[in-house]
Amino acid sequence: MTRNALEQALVRTAHRVLPAGHFGNFAADLVIREGRGGRVWDVSGNEYVDYLLGSGPMFIGHAHPEVTEAVVAQVPKGTTFFANNEHGIRLAEAIVEAVPCAEQVRFVSSGTEADLYAMRVARAFRKRDRILKFEGGYHGMSDWGLMSLAPKRLANFPVAVPDSAGIPRSAREEVLVAPFNDLEAARALIAAHHDELGGVILEPFQRLIPPAPGFLQGIREITAQYGIPLIFDEVVTGFRFAYGGAQSYYGVTPDLCTLGKIIGGGFPLAAVAGRADIMAHFDKGLVGEDGFLMQVGTLSGNPVAAVAGLATLEVLRRPGAYEQAFATGRSLMEGLSALIAKAGLPAQVVGEPPLFDVVFTTEAVRNYRDTLQADAGLQKHFNTQLRAAGILKGESKYYVSLAHTEEDVALTLQAFSGAIAALPKGAR
């Protein structure tokens, strides 16, 4: 892909004024100009089939006309009030109607905030300090969330390994870590530490890895046995796998969940949702001074994000919406799997149709440590070839949208074929 003078100048400016030359998200060598449907264009005019989707929020596509219409109608009426507004209330009502665990909702502006407050409200309810999470699970940028997401050194469970500089050592003692998809090990840890645990948090679909049969059900059973709040982090999977989220898709209902990305329709909005008796800790009038969890956010539930979210959910409620997204994802997964098999490539496609990737290993991938067997160099080479062919994705994930077309699928499969052919000969 060629870069014009403007984009090159913007990249140079970014490196001068931004640490590492970017916002902390995607690569610094690309500056996006616009997006429509399932495609984006950079400042140089290069066009990409977009499987990054803003890291997932644009499930119904960029600049969807109904979302745009709703936002344009709201902006002249005000963009934020630091007070209740009708659209935020209607969005909370829609979430309660859709999500099995949701009896009440508290809005925030990011998935990090949602996960932080979900863990905090569980601790307030349970009156215990420690949180159990699963190695490889991502729960935002808080001190507690950034434990054993991608540890550079492996520790014996349940020892937590900080993923970032600047995290207090004391935070390690407040987090216990279990292996994902190992029900026996998780049960043993929960049983051994049940009287210390304020909550258990997990992604029901961890990054790319589906839950093993019975795993979520088993975690639900043992947390219920000990009265420990179970939190599903559905910032990614909420309204993506089904209208009721992964908890609906997999048929397991937690006590609390976190939501983000899709519910804001491309604007900053996220939420904690769950049982009313736990959510009561956000209400001082119900729980008193000692049980009250203070939570304030300048933009929480702002009307622009709320109308974008409502318009997005309206589209997703229509018959055939999820069938379409799954059919698109299935075509991509099956096509990529067939190309891998034909080339004799040591790789496999992992995930669910709305969210998947290729992992360069033939070994089973059931947890974070299994992913360490994959050839990261081949992954990077493959992704680089796809970028050059006009396919935009993150380091690990294809987000599929309702806006992706049959033409997008055909172009992507063609790019897959070319990227496989361009891999080093020793890889095939």
What CATH code is carried by the domain that includes residue 132? 3.40.640.10
- CA-nearest of 134, 136, 62 to 370 is 136
Q: Is residue 22 part of a domain?
A: no
> By residue range, what is the domain housing residue 336?
329-375+424-428
CA angle, 312 then 315 then 319, to 5°:
150
Q: Is 193 part of any domain?
A: yes
Question: Of 316, 339, 361, which residue is a domain's last?
Answer: 316
Residue 14 lies in a domain: no
- Amino acid residing at 16: R
CA-to-CA distance for 29 and 7, rounded, in angstroms?
A: 9
Alpha-carbon span 367 to 136, nearest angstrom: 7
Domain boundary among 270, 290, 316: 316
Same domain flag for 309 and 371 = no
Q: Is residue 24 part of a domain?
A: no
pLDDT of residue 426: 60
Partners of 37 in the β-ladder: 62
Strands 39-42 and 47-50: antiparallel
- Taking Cα atoms as reference points, which of 416, 368, 371, 39 lies closest to residue 177? 368
CA neighbours within 13 Å on the CB side: how many for 56? 23
Backbone angles phi, psi at 249, to 5 degrees: -60, -45
Is the residue at 396 inside a domain? no
- Is there a single domain that holds both residue 264 and residue 173? yes
Task: Indicate if 337 and 246 belong to the same structural domain.
Answer: no
What's the pLDDT score for residue 238? 98
**In the block, which residue shows the tokens 């407040």?**
174
Starting at the edge strand found earlier in the chain, the sheet holding 348-352 runs 348-352, 355-359, 398-399
Q: Which residues pair with 199 in a beta bridge?
A: 131
Residue 100 lies in a domain: yes
- Token code pair at residue 59: 């499930």
Phi then psi for residue 161, to 5 deg, are: -115, 120
Q: Are residues 230 and 346 in the same domain?
A: no
Give residue for tokens 């970028």: 387
- Residues 310 and 335 placed together within one structural domain of the fold: no
CA distances from 373 to 79, 93, 150, 377 (A): 48, 44, 13, 12
Quote the CA–CA distance of 405 and 401 in Å, as a whole number.
Answer: 9
Q: Are residues 219 and 267 in the same domain?
A: yes
Within 8 A by CB and 6+ apart from 386, the residues are: 393, 415, 416, 419
Instruction: Measure the CA–CA gap between 160 and 154, rounded to whole angstroms.
Output: 9
Closest CA to 40 of 26, 51, 50: 50
239 and 337 in a single domain? The answer is no
Q: What is the pLDDT of residue 152?
A: 87
Hey, is 142 helix, strand or coil?
Answer: coil
Residues 134 and 230 in one domain: yes
Same domain for 239 and 109? yes
How far is 110 from 271, CA to CA, in rounded Å? Answer: 8
Q: How far apart are CA 149 and CA 247, in angstroms?
A: 22
| Count of the separate structural domains present in the chain | 2
Judgement on whether residues 206 and 355 belong to the same structural domain of the protein: no
Query: Helix, strand or coil for residue 325?
Result: helix
Please say which residue of 283, 316, 349 terminates a domain. Answer: 316
- Indicate the DSSP class of residue 151: -
Nearest to 118 by CA among 276, 258, 309: 258
Tokens of 25: 């998200």
Report the chain's terminal Cα–Cα distance, integer Å: 26
- Among all residues, which ones are annotated catalytic? 138, 233, 261
Flag whether 190 is in a domain. Answer: yes
Q: Identify the pLDDT of residue 293.
A: 97
Tokens of 292: 């009250």
Print pLDDT tens along the chain (428 aa): 899 999 999 999 999 999 999 999 888 899 999 999 999 999 999 999 999 999 999 999 999 999 999 999 999 999 999 999 999 999 999 999 999 999 999 999 999 999 999 999 999 999 999 999 999 999 999 999 999 999 989 999 999 999 999 999 999 999 999 999 999 999 999 999 999 999 999 999 999 999 999 999 999 999 999 999 999 999 999 999 999 999 999 999 999 999 999 999 999 999 999 999 999 999 999 999 999 999 999 999 999 999 999 999 999 999 999 999 999 999 999 999 999 999 999 999 999 999 999 999 999 999 999 999 999 999 999 999 999 999 999 988 999 999 999 999 999 999 999 999 999 876 65
Residues 231 and 286 in one domain: yes
User: Does residue 337 lie within any of the structural domains?
Assistant: yes
Alpha helices in 268-405 (DSSP H): 276-279, 284-291, 303-316, 321-343, 368-371, 376-388
302 and 350 part of one domain: no
